[in-house]
Amino acid sequence: MGMTMTQKILAKHAGLDSVTAGQLIEANLDLVLGNDVTSPVAIKELEKMKVNSVFDKDKIAIVLDHFTPNKDIKSAELCKCSKTFAYKNNITNFFETGEVGIEHALLPEKGLVVAGDAVIGADSHTCTYGALGAFSTGVGSTDMAAGMATGKAWFKIPSAIKFNLIGKPAKWVSGKDVILHIIGLIGVDGALYKSMEFVGEGVKYLSMDDRFAICNMAIEAGGKNGIFPVDEKTIEYIKEHSDKEYEVFEADEDAEYDEVYDIDLSALKPTVAYPHLPENTKTIDEATKDDIKIDQVVIGSCTNGRISDIRIAAKILEGRHVAKGVRTIVIPATQAIYLQAVEEGLVSTFIKAGAAVSTPTCGPCLGGHMGILAKGEKAVATTNRNFVGRMGDVESEIYLASPAVAAASAVLGKLASPDELD
């Protein structure tokens, strides 16, 4: 029986010739990730286990990004706990304010993940790195603790769903629109504990940033992980960012899939997820008919805070001003992206348009800080979740969209299509 890309990676890391869906394995890990919210919990678990050192100081990353720059005393204490642990154990990849980035943008940028790796992170959006042809998935803090101590984790081998991407996306259609369309199609539990494998001739039209966004939100369909095949774009990205050796795994021709979906990228339109689930989608053509007035726009997050996202938002905002009464917050995902945005004049564009530009942080995405919603307020956000109370009051609303739709909405003061600005 053939194996999928994910199954081959897990078999290799378990030292097995082959695996099948449902099989339990113990796999060696290439990287263990934590942030300022989850690392302190893992650290306390290590203390309970009476573990005094980590398995490999070079294979652990601690990124202080969720409530940073420190929002309050409690968040400061979490960061202090993480920092003390990192310094005590000489953790190579420890990042805090000033050199931090949103973890799932920062790790690929720093070259810490490459094709063929097996990665766990105590954050659900760790599935982002499948864009590089790696197996990566989110775990709880206890699993993170065990991973830091032993360099291993156990998994149940996931079955898979194949998404065959065909055609070339139209103007304004991005990776965010692709994954929102898919989640709308299969639902928030449509890929529960399954590997979402994105293949087909349409992949070549997707940038690495598109692929990161798609894999990032695999968890929003319940997926164990998302993964793309390794092509020339992937290898170019890896070589640009990393000195690590990588390994390319390809699915067997007779690999088994629970379901196969054909997705025609050329037929997709910008897509919006209405409150309060990512599966509650409408095309922008449908959404604009609802005339939804908004109070806030957030452009950033581990889904859409990369340089291409920042550029497209700036392109739309250039020479324009955000609507009166609409708070518009732009958050470059890493310091390198922030600096690039400064050097390209994009930050100047945002400021002239009446937007606020923040240092890298997860901030508003999880209702942490830097953009909390009041009762009854509505936001268009390039983030990945729009659950009840996710960004503030339980009676606020979040509409998930691409940077293009978010920027156009900021200008027009309502949920809007970029085409409305032509």
Final residue of a domain: which of 227, 244, 264?
264
Q: Give the model's pLDDT for residue 1.
A: 76
Same domain for 225 and 275? no
Same domain for 325 and 253? no
Same domain for 210 and 302? no
Q: Give the model's pLDDT for residue 421.
A: 85
Same domain for 180 and 309? no
Neighbours of 23 (CB within 10 A): 15
Distance of alpha carbon 171 from alpha carbon 325, whole angstroms: 29
Q: Give the model's pLDDT for residue 166.
A: 97
Q: Give the model's pLDDT for residue 319.
A: 96
Residues 195-254 pLDDT 10s: 999 999 999 999 999 999 999 999 999 999 999 999 999 999 999 999 999 999 999 999
Residue owning tokens 């810490």: 112
Final residue of a domain: which of 264, 293, 327?
264
Q: Give the model's pLDDT for residue 57.
A: 97
Residues 145-160 pLDDT 10s: 999 999 999 999 999 9
Distance of alpha carbon 139 from alpha carbon 142, whole angstroms: 8
pLDDT class of 52 with cuts at 50, 70, 90: confident
Mean pLDDT value of segment 348-354: 98
Q: Which own/partner contact pairs does 339-348 have at CB distance under 8 Å and 24+ positions apart?
A: 340/307, 341/307, 341/310, 341/314, 344/311, 346/310, 346/311, 346/314
Does residue 275 carry a pLDDT above 90?
A: yes
Q: Give the model's pLDDT for residue 229.
A: 97
b/e sequence 157-169, b meaning 16+ C-beta within 10 Å? bbbbbbbbbebeb
Query: Residue 184 sits in a domain of what CATH number?
Result: 3.30.499.10
Distance of alpha carbon 46 from alpha carbon 54, whole angstroms: 9
Does residue 79 carry a pLDDT above 80?
A: yes
Same domain for 298 and 397? yes
What's the pTM? 0.95
Distance of alpha carbon 382 from alpha carbon 64, whole angstroms: 21
pLDDT class of 292 with cuts at 50, 70, 90: very high
Mean pLDDT value of segment 403-412: 98
Q: Give the model's pLDDT for residue 168.
A: 96
Distance of alpha carbon 14 from alpha carbon 407, whole angstroms: 45
- Do residues 29 and 153 make contact, with C-beta atoms less than 8 angstroms apart? yes
Q: Give the model's pLDDT for residue 73.
A: 97
Same domain for 294 and 349? yes
Residues 102-112 pLDDT 10s: 999 999 999 99
Q: Give the model's pLDDT for residue 51.
A: 87
Same domain for 161 and 298? no
Same domain for 200 and 274? no
Q: Give the model's pLDDT for residue 148.
A: 97
Does residue 124 carry a pLDDT above 90?
A: yes
Same domain for 106 and 252? yes
Final residue of a domain: which of 201, 230, 264?
264
On the 0-12 / 13-18 / 19+ scale of CB atoms within 10 A, 110 is middle
Using alpha carbons only, how large is the chain's radius of gyration in Å? 20
Same domain for 276 and 417? yes
Mean pLDDT value of segment 101-125: 97
How many domains does the chain divide into? Answer: 2
Same domain for 235 and 309? no
* Cα–Cα distance list, 367 to 143, 385, 399 (Å): 25, 11, 14
Domain extent for 247: 5-264
Tokens representing 47 are 């203390």
Distance of alpha carbon 230 from alpha carbon 65, whole angstroms: 29
Distance of alpha carbon 408 from alpha carbon 320, whole angstroms: 10
Q: Give the model's pLDDT for residue 97.
A: 86
Same domain for 109 and 226? yes
